[in-house]
Amino acid sequence: MKRNHFIQILLIIFTMATIQPLSAQEVIKDGIPYVTLNNGILMPRFGIGTYNVLGDSVACDAVLHALRQGYRHIDTAHAYRVERGVGKAVNDFIRESGTPREDIWITSKLWPTEYGEGVTMEAIDKMLDRLQTDHIDLLYLHQPMGDFRGAWRDMEKAVREGKVRALGISNFDASDSLFHAIVDSVEIMPAVMQIELHPYAQRLEWREKANRYGIQMECWFPLGGEMSNGLLLRDSVINAIAAAHGKTAAQIILRWHIQEGFSVIPGATRHDYIEENINIFDFTLSDEEMAQIRALNKEERIFRMDYEQAKQFMLNWKIED
């Protein structure tokens, strides 16, 4: 037991040394924590994801309900094929509530078939049209393949023209060389890096790399995703902590993400899940509970796909506008 306790302490020290700590000047707005990105812009660290949502009408309903519950960050992508539904939800909410567009953070992602100078700028204009907005708050390269360098140059132009506020890289943890192909050669540094990250895959190495460049970590599959079949939600340690707080396992996991300093975007379409996910700001995990969850790390990803196989598929799949 003494040896295990010593190992756990070392893990805690290493983890805390590699993550981006919460800023003493962090902004809390309507209960939601915001982070100042490396370009000086404030971004809500909690939002709703729209991956695997079945169509615009479902996306519109989910996002509109989320906005009514206090969500202010929506993550989508051209590949999800629900940008029109997201845009409609945002505009409907703005009309009914009077909330300024500037208070709602819209994130989207470009697909590899849209990469390349000239090509990417046209794709951004089409994305703005689908989302029914004059600017995108955060624009990602969705996958690290194809002419992503050319795409990035167009993305930088879009920032200078006011069409985009911040740039990010998604899934660039495929290799160290792909990550450095962006961060070591661009004019505008990525502000956010989005990867799979949850208690079973805490991605310590990638967190440390992102931290060197002041890049905020954002987590997809924070609860494991559908393909995990509830693996994280059944964890005995997480459920014991949940029982102690009178919360669900999902709420404990999401609270852990927030206290670790991440941005987290759990996907949901059911109204009760949307409400459950945001109900995490009325309690705090203790240092001991945080350590117990950190100790669950196995660096065990749930989404596994060979890069070369993914490359062949993604470079040949053209998404309809």
Residues annotated as catalytic are 80
| Pairing label, strands 73-75, 105-110 | parallel
Between CA 4 and CA 254 the distance in angstroms is 26
Beta strand residue intervals within the chain, DSSP E: 27-29, 32-36, 42-44, 48-49, 73-75, 105-110, 136-141, 164-170, 192-196, 216-220, 263-264
DSSP string of 16-27, one letter each residue: HHHS-PPPTT-E
Residues 6+ apart with CB under 8 A from 242: 248, 249, 251, 252
Sign of CA dihedral 210, 193, 103, 260: negative
Q: Do residues 91 and 129 make contact, with C-beta atoms less than 8 angstroms apart?
A: no
Q: Do residues 152 and 186 make contact, with C-beta atoms less than 8 angstroms apart?
A: yes
Between CA 283 and CA 240 the distance in angstroms is 15
Q: Do residues 295 and 287 make contact, with C-beta atoms less than 8 angstroms apart?
A: no
Between CA 94 and CA 104 the distance in angstroms is 9
Q: Do residues 73 and 265 make contact, with C-beta atoms less than 8 angstroms apart?
A: yes
